[in-house]
Structures are given as C-alpha cells and as structure tokens.
A and B are shown apart, each in its own frame.
Chain A
Amino acid sequence: MSDSHWPLWEVFTQGAQGEPFEHAGSLHATDAEHALQNARDVYARRGEAVNLWVVPSTAITASAPSDAGPFFDPGNDKAYRHPQFYKVPRGVKVF
C-alpha cells in the first residue's frame, strides 16, 4: 500500500464547545488515529477546532443533486409547518 492509496477521510471540525461540527475538507491517512493527527495539522493549525471527527469517505451516503427536487419536495409545500402560517389576534405578543 503506497501513500497514494491510503484511504480518504472526511474531516469535520467543531469551532467551539456547543457548536455543530462542520465539514472542513478531506485527507489521506493510513488509519483513524493517523487521520486525526493529520487533520489536526492540516485543518486546525490556528485553534480553528476544539474537537475533530474523521470519517472514512466511503462511509458517507449522500443525496443525489439531480434528485434534489423530488427528494426534498415533501417538505416544500407545507406552509403550516412554519409559525407565520398561524394567525394571532392583533396586539397579542405570542412570544
């Protein structure tokens, strides 16, 4: 196994405690531990992260962009899922 064929890992960084993890990029590494160390050196040289996730790229299943319309359609026509759908008597503060 040459370095070129080290598996690809996706790197996610958490910028501060309590924040969500965000995709930062990817890198090649021999195993998870090596990927974590490389991720620290490549994606967190300036305190950009307090936590890191590394995930084998092959483990990610993604939605297909060409199907985005029909795939997300069930959520698009339901205005009643938003608070603005509901009428409130004039002058009343709901929140």
Chain B
Amino acid sequence: MEPTPNAPADETALNAAFEAKIAAGDSIEPKDWMPERYRKQLTRMMSQHAHSEIVGMLPEGNWITRAPSLRRKMSLIAKVQDEAGHGLYIYCGTETLGVDRFDLYNQLLDGSAKYSSIFNYPTLSWADMGVIGWLVDGAAIVNQTVLAKTSYGPYARAMVRICKEENFHKRQGYEICATLAAGTPAQREMLQDAVNRFWWPALMMFGPSDKDSPNSAELLRWRVKRKTNDELRQRFVNLTVPQAQAIGITLPDPDLRYNEATKNWDFGEIDWAEFFEVIKGNGPCNKERLAARNKAHDDGRWVREAATAYAEKQAKKRQTEAA
C-alpha cells in the first residue's frame, strides 16, 4: 500500500519503521518507504558518483591513441569501457529513487551537476595513466569497498559489481608505474612528476575533513556512509605508502611519517582552498571536460537517432506481418 502523501501522523510510524530497519542493518529497497531527505541525499551521492564515472573516461580516453604498446592500449580501452559501464550501473540505481536518467544527464551536460574533483586535473604524460590507475582508482576502491555495504540496496549492489572490476584498473595502473620506475632515468622522472601532481588531489577525493563535512553525521547514522572521510583517507594512505616504497617513488609530503603509537602514516595538511576552488568549477580542466562531454554527446546523436529509427521500422514490420 502506498503511503498517502501529506499524512504526518502516518509518517511518524513509517519513519520509526524505517529507522528500525536501518538499526537492524537491513537494506532499504526502492519500494520501501524512506524519508524524503534520505532519498534526496542518496540521489545526490549516487548521481555525483555516476557523473564521476562518465567524466572519468575523458582524462584517460585522451591517451588511448598514444598508448606505448598494443598491450597497454587494449587495457586502457577496456578500462575506459568499464568506466562507462560503471556510470550506467549507478545511473540505473539512481533511477530507482524516482529520478529520470535524462534529467541527471542534462544536469551533467549543462554544468549544474557535481562530479569528483580529481577529473578536473590534466593528464600531461603517459605516466599519468599509471598514476591514475594506481592512486585514483586505488582511492576509489577504498571508498567503494565501504559503499558496497551502504544501506540502500541498489547502490550497494552496484558497488559490489564495480569493486570487482576496479581491481583490474588499479593493478594495470600500478604495473605501468612499476615498469616506469624500473625504466630509464627519464621514465622515472616522468613517473615522479605524475605522482607529485596527483598525490594531493587523490587525497582530496575522500571529500572534506570530517569537521567540515556537515552531512556526515546523518549519513553515518543512516548507514549510507559506513566510515568517515578522514578514516577512509587514512586507510588509503596506509595502503599506498608501502606500494610507493616498493617501487622507489617518493610521495610529495615532507610530513609523511609512520606513527608507532597509532600504527598510521601521518600526513601533512591538505590544501582545502584548492579543493573548494576545483569543486566550484575553477579547476584546471573543468571547462574542457564539460566541453568534451558535450561534444561526445552531440557527436553520438546520429547513433541514438539511428537506433530509434531502426526500432520503429522493426515494430512496423512486425505489425504488418501480424496483420
């Protein structure tokens, strides 16, 4: 039975049932009653996540034609194709909350939607492809492994699927880094330069510090988030430092040191001013990414039109045959 809108008396009972479900660790499914704010927060998080997957294709798609070998090229094509697939999983998940993918997509194209700030940095060298796989996908995996246990069922299921595939992304990236690290001095230098540029933006991917993250408490209570931004960031740093050491690469942070007491790698202060500038649309590539996304959408129009025309023709043919 659908709950009648504008029935506050009922809403109290529905809300209590919802909170009980959350407390019991049950998943919330599309047809379950949920508070408007829960629906809104999830729509925001999931659509931003889907947009990030789609925009994430651009910095890497940029290097497909310049991959140094056929092996690297095949991997990169497969990775970019995966990102498109991940975008689709999450758009479809978001649609279960009652929004139309068309509207979400238009928000991305007209620039009103947000996506991960990391994709607004340029990819200047081949080493960036390695470092993106290693650090950017590595950070995404840390985030998504926890999201796989989020309280909204369709989001959690999409994350399980995505996590399986992201592991290939990270390993192919780390392999590129390890290969360059064992290469010529010029290759090592190229790799170190890429790490220097991407390390801090990768740390920013986990979002603002807990003290500046106003939504966190509510999202944690609803089990949408299972760990705070800072907890996830620390986990990522702890995982990554030994990987950098293994290939002899320096992470660009003079304050990075192991803390015996906490068993964590302590790291320096993040430049949050830069983070908020990029989020606001003033990053190095915000305009370029949007323009590229719009161009891809426009260039693909004939494919969509052809598919529609073909389906209409087939439907007509079936009708004539039936008659």
Contact = CB atoms under 8 A, between A and B. Distances in A.
Interface stretch (A58-66, A73-81, A84-92): A58-66
A74 B236 CA distance: 50
Contact of A45 (B85, B157, B312): B85
A34 B29 contact: no
Given A42-B89, A65-B29, A31 B311 contact: yes
Given A62-B31, A65-B29, A2 B304 contact: yes
Given A30-B308, A30-B311, 19 more contacts: A2-B102, A3-B304, A4-B101, A6-B308, A8-B95, A25-B89, A25-B92, A26-B95, A28-B101, A41-B85, A42-B89, A45-B81, A45-B85, A64-B1, A64-B31, A65-B29, A65-B31, A66-B1, A66-B32
Nearest to B300: A3
Contact of B32 (A26, A41, A45, A65): A65
A42 B85 contact: yes
A93 interface: no
B88 interface: yes
A5 B101 CA distance: 9
B3 interface: yes
Nearest to B104: A4
Interface string B288-310: 00000000000000001001101
- Bin chain A's interface residue count: 20 to 34
A28 B304 CA distance: 12
Interface in B65-101: 81-82, 85, 88-89, 92-93, 95, 100-101
B31 A3 contact: no
Interface string A1-17: 11111101000000000
A55 interface: no
Interface string A31-43: 1011000000110
Nearest to A1: B308
